[in-house]
Amino acid sequence: MGYRILAEVTMAVHFLFIAFVVLGGFLAWRWPKVVWLHLLAAGWGLCIVLFGLNCPLTYVEDRARERTGEAGLSRGFIDTYLTGVIYPERCLDEVRLLIAAVVVFSYAVAVRRWRVSRG
C-alpha cells in the first residue's frame, strides 16, 4: 500500500514539476526571486530533452510501481503519460518548440516588467 501511494504521489509531483517548467516563468512576474528556481527547473528539463537524461522522479515512480507488483514504466514519464495521450506523438517537436516559446515569452515579459518597475 505504501509503495502505491509513493508511486501516485511521485506521478502527481512529476506533473506539477512539468507544469512549473512550462509556466513557472510567469510566476516570476509577481515573485521575481522564483526565476532562479525556474531557471534550474527549465535547465533540467532542457537537459532531459537534449541529452536524454533520466529524471529521478521517473526512477522513484518506476521502482515504487515495481514494488507493488505492477509493471514499471516502459518509457519515460513524458512518453508514458503525455506523448500520445495529451498530444499526438507526431507533434512532439512542435510541442517542445511551443514550450520553449512559452518560457522565452514569460522571461521576456518578466525582464520588461522588472525594468519598468526599476524606473
Please report the pLDDT score of residue 80 as a whole number.
Answer: 87
Number of domains in the chain: 1
What is the C-alpha to C-alpha distance for residues 66 and 60, in angstroms, rounded to an integer? 10
Count CB atoms within 10 A of the CB of residue 86.
Answer: 10
Dump pLDDT digits (tens) for 87-115: 999 999 999 999 999 999 999 999 998 88
Using CB atoms within 10 A of its CB, is residue 3 exposed (0-12), middle (13-18) or buried (19+)?
A: middle
Residue 118 has pLDDT above 90, yes or no: no
Question: Which residues face 87 on adjacent strands?
Answer: 83
pLDDT at residue 56, rounded to an integer: 92
Rg (CA), the chain: 17
Please report the pLDDT score of residue 54 as a whole number: 86
Predicted confidence band of residue 75 (pLDDT cuts 50, 70, 90): confident
Place 5 in a pLDDT band, splitting at 50, 70 and 90.
very high
Domain that holds residue 89: 2-118
Please indicate whether residue 83 or residue 1 has the higher confidence score (pLDDT): 83
